[in-house]
Chains A and B, each alone.
Chain A
Amino acid sequence: MRHNGSYSASPRIGLLEWTPWIIGIAAFFLLPEYLSLGARILIFILYALSLDLVVGYAGIVTLGHSAFFGLGAYAAGILSARFGVADPALQLLAAMAACALMGLATGAVILRTRGLTLLMLTLAIASILLEVANKATSVTGGADGLSGIVVAPILGLFRFDLFGKTAYWLCLAVLFVGWWITRRLIYSPFGASLVGIRENHVRMVAIGSPVSRRLLTAYTMSAVLAGVAGALLTQTNQFVGLNVLSFESSGELLVMLILGGVGRIYGAFVGPVVYMIAQDMLAKQFPEYWSLGIGLLLVIIVLFARDGILGIIDRLVALVRKEAR
């Protein structure tokens, strides 16, 4: 199940592609005590999806995606805690606007470079934001985090409850919209040309494609999606900590994405689910061995299963089909 934008790919939404939504809805009713974990997973799926757009489709490897996640989280949080804007829609919009600007500005700089330099710049930009958030205590709360965030009922109707029911539905709905837009993008001519750039940058230039502009567009869209995910985290937790901007956060996200499978949309769904459930069960008991295991897992995936869990499933399915014939 690879989803590559191209001029011959049918954009019809297949039956299997509805499974995440069925599971998402079913989980609400079947696992009510896990709703807060569920909401967090949904947020990270959106975050991973935004990363898949740049890494998996446009082929830009970034170590600083947390910059946008964190910026979105802080934008929503600051708007509420410092300016008293409690409307959740406005908070999301503020996060989107901030990330769009930041994506354009930083993308224009970093996309002129390649390789190690690009990696370094993405890292440096995230580090700058982290420094700023850390030092500008009066606005961000610094190392203590930003609290005092108020989120008004959605549309004036749905209050954020203690059990996280509203938050869960909000995250699911926003993720749905984010997924739908991303999917449209990937199947569009624009998405096809992103894949072209990933496959062969030089050739895309040689057929006259405005490569830099395409990459900047993709990067900015991804930034906005990541920002929305960040803002959702703020609304769900009503708190923002510095860790949303950390390198570890970007690194973990990369792990989730590669675990599910890069450049296939649904890798961004499978990865966070597996990772975060495992983390919930194991990380607290064995913190040391947890990061050792993650490292080992990464190395093993890169060496033996570069297309992630979904890639393995694809291969198994192909094998079974061959046997059946």
Chain B
Amino acid sequence: MQEFLASLVSVAFHGVAYGMILYVISVGLSVTMGLMGFANLAHGVFAMAGGYILTTSLDQWGLPFPLALAVAFVLVAAGSVVLERLLYARLYAAGELAQVLFTIGLIFMATAIARLIYGTLQQPVHLPEGMKGQFDLLGRDFPAYRVFIILFGASLVAGLWFGVERTRFGAMVRAAVDNRAMAQSVGIDTQKLFMATFALGSGLAGLGGALGAEIIAIQPSYPFEHLVYFLIVVAVGGLGTLRGPFVAALVIGIADTACKYWVPQFGAFLIYVATILLLLWRPAGLFGRAA
């Protein structure tokens, strides 16, 4: 019994850490999909890029860890703006098929480039000394870095929600998600808004990829391999909301960790089945508005 409780705590802990990462990566996808209706399957590319930038900044440029995280966010956000202006923006009015194929093309390219530069092996993450140890609580060890992820993730989420609820930028985003034509007619520059939102969402994905590099291994197959999970978070959470994907990410993070811990022979099978059942019950997701 004692043993079981202990493993329960441990699963919950690792699950929450994993869920945080999933959320930070996926939230941008939910918002861009809700705001622009763009099916950006290449979202995982930004997360992968964040991971590679982190390991490169740590190992080759010798940057301290916090700075490396910041660099991952900034570089990915900046890069995504270039992509948005040059490529994505041309396809806002295009059909779903065009967007899907275009973003699959980006994944193919990103995967190949990653393999050319870094090879196929997963990148080791060299954590700073302070985060390597264990953290003792109630007689159990918790890796300090995961504790950091949870705390950092939680404050990020709080900041994000506060920003979207309280700032002018947030109000504009919410207005445009609700009704784009209306937002345009009251003078919101939707083009700039899209660009800014896209940059923020991609930057967060980069940050999430960097932050989670130790949990979700950084390797060239990353954008393909984890795409289903990012999409599940968004579909289950519902489009265009911040809270929905958060709940979904935590649930999936915990459920996935639990499955791998107790029934590893089923792999991700149970998650997929649960997702399908849930969407049968609520096709628009947990918090999504019915179309």
Contact = CB atoms under 8 A, between A and B. Distances in A.
Interface stretch (A39-47, A90-98, A223-231, A247-255): A247-255
B108 A292 contact: yes
B279 interface: yes
Interface stretch (A22-30, A118-126, A143-151, A161-169): A118-126
A188 interface: no
Interface string B217-243: 000000010011001101100010000
Contact of A131 (B94, B105, B231, B268): B268
A117 B283 contact: yes
Contacts of A290: 112
Contacts of B115: 288
A116 B113 contact: no
Contacts of A116: 33, 39, 231, 234-235, 239
B75 interface: no
Contacts of B137: none
Nearest to B37: A115
Interface in A250-270: 251, 254-255, 258, 262
Interface residues of B, number: 49
B259 to A, nearest CB: 11
A116 B110 CA distance: 21
A132 B98 contact: no
B235 A288 contact: no
B108 A127 contact: no
Interface string B18-40: 00000000000000010001010
A114 B90 contact: no
Contact of B91 (A131, A298, A302): A302
Interface residues of A, number: 45
A119 B39 CA distance: 9
Given A115-B39, A123-B228, 19 more contacts: A116-B33, A116-B235, A119-B41, A121-B276, A124-B276, A127-B228, A127-B268, A131-B268, A131-B269, A254-B101, A262-B97, A291-B109, A292-B108, A292-B112, A292-B116, A298-B104, A299-B106, A302-B101, A303-B87
17 contacts: A61-B100, A109-B276, A109-B279, A117-B284, A124-B275, A127-B272, A131-B272, A254-B101, A290-B112, A291-B111, A294-B105, A295-B106, A296-B109, A298-B104, A298-B108, A299-B106, A302-B98
- A-B interface, 10 closest residue pairs, ranked by CB to CB distance from nearest: A298-B105, A295-B108, A295-B109, A120-B231, A292-B112, A299-B105, A117-B235, A302-B102, A291-B112, A124-B272
Interface of A: 55, 59, 61, 63, 109, 112-117, 119-121, 123-125, 127-128, 131-132, 134-135, 247-248, 251, 254-255, 258, 262, 288-292, 294-299, 301-303, 306
